[in-house]
């Protein structure tokens, strides 16, 4: 029985640890308590950490999920109709009636794609998503193209949604127009901070504007339809001066361009399919059932609101003004509410502002999750897979906030300019996902009902593929060429990152440069585990150089550390920080088996310890634990910790590593404890062929 087991709970300077098994300890919250004013401010702003045991409580019920994952799709009715009208307007007022036909075709496409994604949700109950579906069924390159397209679309969704929302409120309050860009950037900062508080918190907050919009805008369309039937519409609108006469002929290309612009109303339809793991449910099947039900509700609402907007825009003679002021939805609200009910116009505009701005939250829910999947597969830096103290993918959320603000500044918040880049990415992902599902069902021809599912996904793939080509051709010279270039560049970047992680390495340990004590009684060798680390360590080399054709740098460095530690201390302790007891037990079991099967002459001197960090942090729990063990369990003994220190690292490699060892070293030295920190400098290069 260990010393800690005899004393189940000990603390040192507020750092409390509890033994929960043989050589398995658990860190409590005081271990990760903030120690600086900046960290105190972060806790105040983002909230207290959420333990791993309560992670399931962060999932969304169907009401919250509809608000969180559907706000992008539902909000697009506020600009989808306007986008197509803006294109048709150059052919003159008479051409605007064609938008009715385009609206019907778009609504039919929404139903087809929605039904197709419902099949995807049931086929991939653990979370399909265009990336996973395309990668599994069409190959890695197809999956990466889908991922790149979606990342671009999510980024543009934030910029378009926020700028459209501020335009909507500027229609009601023109006084804010000069400050629109500043307000838009501020809105992105606010949404980023809310999402850093966690999915459940953001879902609760964003449910309010989503349902506020559904009620107020739904009432607007209902009243508008009644008014149009009883009194007729504004059949002779006052067009802007430049629309008085047609500036371009009504050609097939112009009609296709208008259709492509109107299809921006379909962005966000895939969000629920990508976010199945975010739903409540004790099994993936139950989560997928909840997701499918939410998708059906979303498609029904989207089609109803879009068709209502398109019809009333024609009935009241709404015009898409180049300045965006007033918007088409503002003109419909003006028509619906006049006289004593004119005040409700401002209610609708406020609701539209909120839903458009907070529609960006759909991207903040899916962009970080997709980045985490790519990081797990070594296509993005490992940091993107890190879940923060609030069980949110902190790096992905922060990156999206920063990049979307930059895009807004580049385009000066111009919705028309952003729309020209919009929608192509999502239709590329639509097409690849549905094509992947066709292959999926062809491989499962023994399942009952596979023919109907194949037909649904095949129809979806064909329809979205046609729209993708239309958007690419019709909008190529208007900005779509940027997306066409960016997607392959991102794919090349993904492949380059994976090549870096998987490249065979040759590691050289510089023992002479290490500050080595004559002897130590105990040496700790921490394992900093992320996706680079293999499941079992490599056998330590007999000399100072170690190379392996199929292993990455950390296992090699760890192997050398063990050989080095055996020379300076009789007691070697491998320690790993884990998230939960299951991971701790897996670690101790697998490594015990490895050590027993190894031929290491010093294997009997190696002990394994696992530290459970329920709040997913590493640096503070580990440093406090090492000092706690040194002071309470190894009093009077000389305790050292070996930390690898890579030298001659190229500047571009820094973002590809988490640098946990570096941060642990800095923390231990700031704490100025009696623990001896030994740096093991090493260099790493490509393994010769």
Taking only the tens place, the pLDDT of each residue in 448-491 is 888 888 888 888 888 888 888 888 887 787 778 888 899 999 99
Bigger pLDDT: 630 vs 238: 630
| Joined tokens for residue 351 | 């609701």
Q: What pLDDT shows up at residue 447? A: 84
Closest CA to 364 of 572, 155, 62, 214: 155
Residues of the chain with pLDDT > 70, as a percent, come to: 83
CATH of domain 503-686: 3.40.50
DSSP secondary structure code for residue 338 in this structure: -
- What gap in Å lies between CA 661 and CA 681, rounded to an integer? 12
pLDDT of 210 strictly over 80: yes
For residues 12-34, average pLDDT: 71
Between 129-138, 167-176, 397-406, 550-559, the lowest mean confidence (pLDDT) is in 550-559
Taking only the tens place, the pLDDT of each residue in 351-365 is 887 887 777 888 888
C-alpha distances in Å from residue 631, one per residue of 13, 634, 676: 11, 6, 13
Closest CA to 671 of 621, 617, 623, 632: 623
CATH of domain 62-233+267-498: 1.20.1740.10
The CA-based angle 303-203-364, given to 5 degrees, is: 80
For residues 587-611, average pLDDT: 84
Bigger pLDDT: 46 vs 149: 149
Alpha helices in 197-283, H assignment, sequence order? 199-231, 252-262, 271-274
Bigger pLDDT: 352 vs 155: 155
Model confidence band, residue 303 (pLDDT cutoffs 50, 70, 90) = very high
Closest CA to 573 of 584, 586, 585, 588: 588
Residue 686's φ and ψ, nearest 5 degrees, are -70, 140
Q: What pLDDT shows up at residue 533? A: 37
> How do the domains of the chain map onto residue ranges?
62-233+267-498, 503-686
For residues 189-208, average pLDDT: 82
The CA-based angle 166-168-174, given to 5 degrees, is: 80
Mean pLDDT, the chain, rounded, equals: 79
DSSP assignment of 360-425: HHHHHHHHHHHHHHHHHTTSS-GGGG---TTSS-HHHHHHHHHHHHHHHHHHTT-HHHHHTTSSHH
- What gap in Å lies between CA 548 and CA 538, rounded to an integer? 8
Between 20-29, 213-222, 617-626, the lowest mean confidence (pLDDT) is in 20-29
Model confidence band, residue 439 (pLDDT cutoffs 50, 70, 90) = very high
- What gap in Å lies between CA 130 and CA 146, rounded to an integer? 6
Q: Tell me whether the CATH fold assigned to 62-233+267-498 matches the one assigned to 503-686.
A: no
Model confidence band, residue 8 (pLDDT cutoffs 50, 70, 90) = very low
Alpha helices in 89-198, H assignment, sequence order? 98-123, 129-138, 140-172, 180-196
């Amino acid at each position: 029985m260990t010393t800690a087991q005899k004393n189940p709970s000990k603390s040192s300077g507020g750092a409390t640890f509890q033994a929960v098994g043989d050589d398995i300890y658990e860190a409590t919250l005081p271990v990760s308590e903030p120690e600086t004013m900046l960290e105190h401010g972060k806790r105040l702003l983002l909230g207290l950490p959420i333990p791993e045991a309560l992670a399931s409580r962060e999932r969304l019920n169907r009401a919250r999920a509809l608000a969180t994952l559907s706000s992008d799709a539902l909000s697009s009715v506020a600009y989808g109709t306007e986008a197509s009208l803006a294109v048709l307007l150059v052919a003159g007022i008479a051409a605007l009636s064609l938008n009715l036909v385009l609206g019907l075709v778009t609504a039919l496409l929404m139903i087809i794609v929605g039904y197709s994604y419902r099949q995807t949700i049931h086929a991939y109950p653990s979370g399909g998503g265009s990336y996973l579906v395309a990668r599994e069924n069409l190959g890695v390159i197809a999956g990466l193209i889908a991922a790149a397209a979606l990342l671009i679309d999510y980024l543009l969704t934030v910029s378009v949604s926020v700028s459209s929302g501020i335009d909507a409120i500027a229609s009601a309050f023109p006084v804010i127009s000069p400050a629109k860009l500043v307000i838009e950037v501020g809105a992105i900062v606010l949404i980023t901070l809310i999402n850093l508080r966690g999915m459940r918190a953001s879902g609760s907050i964003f449910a309010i504007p989503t349902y506020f919009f559904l009620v107020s805008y739904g009432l607007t369309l209902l009243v508008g339809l009644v008014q149009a039937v009883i009194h007729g519409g504004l059949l002779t609108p006052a067009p802007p001066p430049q629309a008085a006469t047609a500036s371009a002929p009504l050609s097939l290309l112009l009609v296709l361009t208008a259709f492509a612009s109107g299809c921006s109303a379909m962005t966000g339809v895939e969000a629920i399919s990508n976010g199945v793991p975010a739903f409540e449910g004790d099994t993936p099947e139950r989560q997928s059932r909840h997701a499918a039900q939410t998708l059906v509700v979303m498609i029904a609402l989207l089609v109803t609101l879009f068709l209502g907007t398109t019809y009333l825009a024609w009935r009241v003679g709404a015009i898409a003004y180049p300045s965006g002021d007033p918007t088409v939805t503002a003109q419909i609200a003006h028509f619906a509410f006049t006289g004593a009910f004119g005040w409700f116009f401002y209610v609708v505009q406020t609701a539209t502002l909120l839903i458009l701005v907070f529609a960006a939250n759909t991207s903040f829910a899916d962009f970080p999750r997709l980045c985490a999947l790519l990081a797990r597969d070594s296509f993005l830096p490992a940091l993107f897979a890190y879940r923060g103290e609030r069980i949110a993918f902190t790096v992905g959320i922060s990156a999206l906030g920063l990049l979307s603000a930059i895009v807004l500044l580049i385009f000066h918040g111009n919705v028309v300019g952003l729309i020209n880049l919009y929608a192509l990415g999502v239709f590329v992902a639509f097409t690849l996902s549905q094509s992947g599902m066709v292959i999926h069902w062809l491989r499962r021809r023994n399942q009952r009902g596979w023919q109907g599912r194949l037909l649904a996904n095949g129809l979806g793939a064909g329809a979205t593929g046609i729209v993708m080509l239309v958007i690419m051709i019709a909008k190529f010279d208007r900005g779509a060429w940027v997306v066409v270039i960016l997607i392959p560049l991102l794919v090349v970047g993904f492949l380059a990152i994976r090549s870096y992680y998987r490249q065979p390495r040759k590691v050289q340990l510089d023992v002479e440069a290490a500050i080595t004590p004559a002897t130590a009684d105990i040496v700790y060798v921490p394992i900093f585990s992320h996706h680079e680390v293999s499941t079992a360590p490599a056998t330590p080399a007999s000399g100072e150089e170690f190379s392996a054709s199929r292993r990455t740098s950390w296992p090699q460095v760890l192997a050398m550390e063990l050989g080095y530690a055996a020379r300076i201390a009789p007691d070697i302790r491998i320690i790993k920080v884990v998230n939960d007891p299951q991971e701790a037990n897996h670690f101790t079991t697998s490594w015990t088996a490895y050590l027993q099967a190894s031929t290491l002459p010093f294997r009997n001197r190696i002990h394994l310890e696992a530290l459970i960090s329920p709040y997913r942090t590493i640096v503070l729990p580990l440093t406090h634990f090492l000092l706690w063990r040194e002071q309470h369990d190894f009093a009077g003994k000389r305790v050292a910790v070996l930390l690898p220190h890579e030298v001659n690292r190229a500047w571009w490699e820094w973002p590809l590593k988490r640098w946990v060892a570096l941060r642990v070293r800095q923390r231990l030295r700031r704490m100025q404890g009696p623990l001896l920190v030994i740096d093991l400098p090493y260099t790493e290069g490509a393994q010769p062929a």
